[in-house]
Amino acid sequence: MRRLALALAFAALGCGASTAPPPEHATETERYRHILMDRVDPNGLAWDPSRRVLYVADDDQAQVMVVSNGVVLAGRPLRDVGGGAGGLVQLGDGSIACARFGTDGDGGIVRLLPDEAVRVVPGLDPSRHRLGVAAWGDLYVAWFSGPHGAWTGGVARVDLATGAETPVLGDLGKVVGVAILDDLLVVSDQTHDSLFACHLPDCADRSLLAMIPAPDLMTASADEVFVGSRAGNVFGVRADGTTRTVASELGGEPRGLAWDAEDRELFVAIHDPGAHPRHLIAIVEVPPLATPDAGVSE
């Protein structure tokens, strides 16, 4: 009932070894529960497990939708820097960090504070495009810059007070997503159809984790990283590089992801260029990972 109420509310809005991607699923269409997003283009997602609140970044209107118990509490506008609304992550103080992709040198990051205020992180390099964000004590941000088709990027640790960006990973291509699995930082590089990983805090052991076609934004459970592919699938990748398909034939391009550990459900923002301005969020039930003594291989 809780999920049905959530769906109705949205409708009312109108370093391990690398592995190749798993084979595609059978041709029959898989069916997931869908939340209609009318005039909202969902991008980054974040799930607050204590309040059971879903945050949805609206890339069209540069706002963050706040949904609780199936009720849309607010659409909080993002001001002052950047364009659109990218990745979301909840920080230790309860605030939500949102990356702003930016155009013409105005990229940035904003924080949505518990008291409803929206604060810009000062002093950031405005030439960087930012999408993926993750928290491990500090805020880790995926970025890329340069001419179109010749992107260079990496991951930086960001000081929220000063905007100082400490390099963590570099010399990559179009870096879109970042997620953290225990102490393993994982980034998605669309230029190279790859996930790269390293162990925090020094990230001195970077390696290729898995090959994923056009990987996008990510999130993590306790056991694996989930990553959307612009080819239309969502994959789960373990710390040793083992990869499985957790969703396919979603009806568009997966973007932001959010994980509900209590119900083992994955929220997936689906951008469908052919249906604009009407998009979807899919709710995918993710089966547990097979255990070695279960006699099942993935």
pLDDT of 277 above 90: no
Q: Which pLDDT band holds residue 10 (cuts at 50, 70, 90)?
A: very low
The model carries a pTM of 0.86
Using one digit for the tens of pLDDT, what is the confidence trace for 26-36?
333 456 887 77
Q: Would you state the pLDDT for residue 70?
A: 56
Using one digit for the tens of pLDDT, what is the confidence trace for 258-275?
999 999 999 999 988 877
The H or E element spanning position 5 is helix 2-12
How much of the chain exceeds pLDDT 70, in percent?
Answer: 84
List the domain boundaries for the chain.
2-16+30-285
Task: Show the CA angle centred on residue 83, arms to residues 13 and 220, nearest 5°.
Answer: 70
Residue with tokens 């391009």: 253
Q: Would you state the pLDDT for residue 206?
A: 97
Q: What per-residue string of b and e applies to 67-95 under the rule 16 or more CB within 10 Å gives b?
A: beebebeeebebeebbbbbbbbbbbeeeb
Does residue 148 or residue 134 have the better pLDDT? Answer: 134
Task: Identify the DSSP state of 29.
Answer: P
Q: Give me the mean pLDDT over the 181-185 stretch.
A: 97
Q: Give me the mean pLDDT over the 75-79 stretch.
A: 85
d(CA 50, CA 175) in angstroms, rounded, equals 30
Q: What per-residue string of b and e applies to 190-213 under the rule 16 or more CB within 10 Å gives b?
A: bbebbbbbbbbeebeebebbbbbe
Fold held by 2-16+30-285 = Neuraminidase (2.120.10)
